[in-house]
Amino acid sequence: MNNLDPEVARDPDHLVVYGGRGKAARDWNSFDRIVGALRTLGNEETLLVQSGKPVGVFPTHREAPRVLIVNAMIVPRWATDEVFWDLEARGLTMYGQMTAGSWIYIGTQGILQGTYETLSALARAEFQQPDLRGRWMLSSGLGEMGGAQPLAVTMLGGAALIVDVDPRAIERRLSKRYLDRRAPDLDEALSLVRQAASERRPLSVGLEGNAADVYPEIERRGILPDIVSDQTAAHDLRVGYIPVGYSVERAATARTSDPDGYMKQVRASLATEARAILALQRRGVRAFDYGNNFRAQARDSGVSDAFDIPGYVPRYIRPLFAVGSGPFRWVALSGEAEDIARIDRMILEEFSSDLPLCRWIRLAAEKVAFQGLPARICYMGYGDRERFGHLVNRMVRDGELSAPIAIGRDHHDTGSVASPFRETEAMKDGSDAIADWPILNALLSVAGGASWVSVHHGGGTGIGNSIHAGLVIVADGSDEADRRMARVLHNDPGIGVARHADAGYPESIELARRAAFRIPGISDEPKSDSA
């Protein structure tokens, strides 16, 4: 229900949470039946959800997950947009994105932290500076994910110009304080961000327009941003990328009245934008693909050198994934913001030596407006997640928090996703498309006793391009929760370390040798009484 809170979801009436058509349940009838089943579910039962529809309640046991979810899975040969969306239109499946269909979306804060983490890694790698002061970024898309870009940039002290065709997306971000202001035209927008960057002052500016118009114009004028990217929902071209000359409403009509003609225009516009990004890149602007499958769509639209734009994971995030670090989140089931504030303070005390973590927690506490249930997210690694889980469980037990806390994570994580255009692009051993890992990850979370576990296809980069898994575990203050967390919150980042060790990353191998799990051939000594 929190996923579909009007403050959280993009289009709750149609059960759409974020990321193009990422949904929480197949239809309202399925939603009602899921809620009905959860209300009566016993502690030794497990509800099965098949692509957003409840299909059975089976006897299991106390420490088994209460819900198992599989969304959008399709046999590989049939895993094309055409087949999938046809099956979806016939009511047989549902697109679950990553955290939409796995019920742990927390609004734009989730992507905010990821974008913040990516851009701080970019600042270090590209400009040898700890933040983005004195720099400005050009990007597009102020939707559920893309809306995080302006705030992530300003949190790092930089300036951002973000283009969106939909004036409502701009309004929504202004009202949530994710965006500072709106410019009436390109001239004003450019002057605002350039002035702010020259004064090393943070500022984010939204501009109503089409990226395929605005990017080439900026390039033509020879005005160079420091960074360029795109965060339209390009992974799903039918609805996620609006062609030049169309409003959102006109696009909706054209999409059904003339689907082929419409798609041609989508592809032509996307190609124009991609060529502008490449031209900016050749002039020294740092360009990157931020996980929306923009490059593959551009290549398929005739831009043969689209993959000259680097992906953000190999370039900026992989070193974090390699040591089991990734996005990790928790939600106050009380609905009380003070519960999150108490956990923030606990982190600042207990994890005080982790300076980037503490910097983020302080900034988030100050800048992030909650959507729906109060929640917090950060990057946390192997070992720390487990420790954090126990600390929170103790706070629930001792009454320091007013209700249980749901602890979960994005599917975009260290050991939980195979996605060759994003998380597993350019793996050291070439194992980009190997999808055994997310399945092992989900099975391990089930074996460990997460509260609910999900496996999805197609999140982030679209149908045919990814397989990924997620989990949530509820800290209710019980001893049982401690036992379950000791397994789940250890194993989940652990398999991320194992996956990267297997691919040959030296830091992962080194960490695996010291870890509380074993990798045959790398760390053979039993570390528990497993004999």
| Footprint of ligand NAD (CB under 6 A) | 10, 18-20, 111, 114, 140-146, 163-166, 169, 210-212, 231-235, 240-242, 248, 269, 290-292, 412, 460
Q: Give the nearest distance from C-beta 519 to ligand NAD in angstroms.
A: 28
Selection from 337, 17, 25 nearest residue 145 by Cα: 17
Q: Give the nearest distance from C-beta 241 to ligand NAD in angstroms.
A: 4
What the block records as the tokens of 342 is 């108490």
How far is Cα 115 from Cα 327, in angstroms, rounded to an integer?
11
Q: Which one from 47, 196, 378, 515 is the annotated catalytic residue?
A: 378
Crossing angle of helices 479-502 and 436-448, in 10° steps, is 160
Q: Which is nearer to ligand NAD, 19 or 202 (CB)?
A: 19
Answer yes or no: are the C-beta atoms of 173 and 253 closer than 8 Å.
no
Q: Give the nearest distance from C-beta 397 to ligand NAD in angstroms.
A: 34
Q: Which is nearer to ligand NAD, 271 or 364 (CB)?
A: 271
Q: Give the nearest distance from C-beta 400 to ligand NAD in angstroms.
A: 32
Q: Which whole-number Å values give the CA distances from 93 to 24, 28, 51, 87, in the listed order?
A: 12, 14, 5, 6
Bridge partners (DSSP) listed for residue 68: 48, 453
Q: Which is nearer to ligand NAD, 170 or 481 (CB)?
A: 170
Q: Which is nearer to ligand NAD, 64 or 242 (CB)?
A: 242
Decide: residue 277, CB within 10 A, 0-12 exposed, 13-18 middle, 19+ buried.
buried
Q: Give the nearest distance from C-beta 298 to ligand NAD in angstroms.
A: 12
Crossing angle of helices 479-502 and 506-514, in 10° steps, is 140
Q: Is 52 helix (H, G, I), strand (E, B) or coil?
A: coil
Q: Give the nearest distance from C-beta 7 to ligand NAD in angstroms.
A: 15
Q: Give the nearest distance from C-beta 113 to ligand NAD in angstroms.
A: 10
Q: Give the nearest distance from C-beta 526 to ligand NAD in angstroms.
A: 37
Residue nearest to ligand NAD (CB): 143
How far is Cα 516 from Cα 382, in angstroms, rounded to an integer?
10
Q: Which is nearer to ligand NAD, 106 or 165 (CB)?
A: 165
Q: 330 — phi, psi (to 5°)?
A: -145, 150
Q: Which whole-number Å values give the CA distances from 376 to 46, 243, 273, in the listed order?
A: 28, 36, 34
Q: Which is nearer to ligand NAD, 166 or 336 (CB)?
A: 166
Q: Which is nearer to ligand NAD, 14 or 61 (CB)?
A: 14
Selection from 210, 231, 227, 109 nearest residue 159 by Cα: 227
How far is Cα 360 from Cα 484, in angstroms, rounded to an integer?
28
Q: Which is nearer to ligand NAD, 272 or 523 (CB)?
A: 272
Q: Which is nearer to ligand NAD, 111 or 512 (CB)?
A: 111
How far is Cα 416 from Cα 51, in angstroms, rounded to an integer?
19
How far is Cα 115 from Cα 131, in angstroms, rounded to an integer?
13
Strands 181-183 and 203-208, bridge-based pairing:
parallel
**218: amino acid identity, one letter:** I
CA 207 to chain centroid = 24
Q: Give the nearest distance from C-beta 340 to ligand NAD in angstroms.
A: 22
What the block records as the tokens of 69 is 């979810």
Active site residue 358: no
Residue tagged 């009484």 (tokens): 529
Answer yes or no: are the C-beta atoms of 56 and 48 closer than 8 Å.
yes
The single-letter DSSP state of residue 317 is I
What the block records as the tokens of 433 is 């498309």
Q: Which whole-number Å values give the CA distances from 21 to 88, 342, 410, in the listed order?
A: 11, 35, 17
The single-letter DSSP state of residue 41 is -
How far is Cα 325 from Cα 348, in angstroms, rounded to an integer?
18
Q: Give the nearest distance from C-beta 197 to ligand NAD in angstroms.
A: 22
Q: Which is nearer to ligand NAD, 50 or 292 (CB)?
A: 292
CA angle 36, 42, 47 (to 5 degrees): 60
The residues that are catalytic are 378
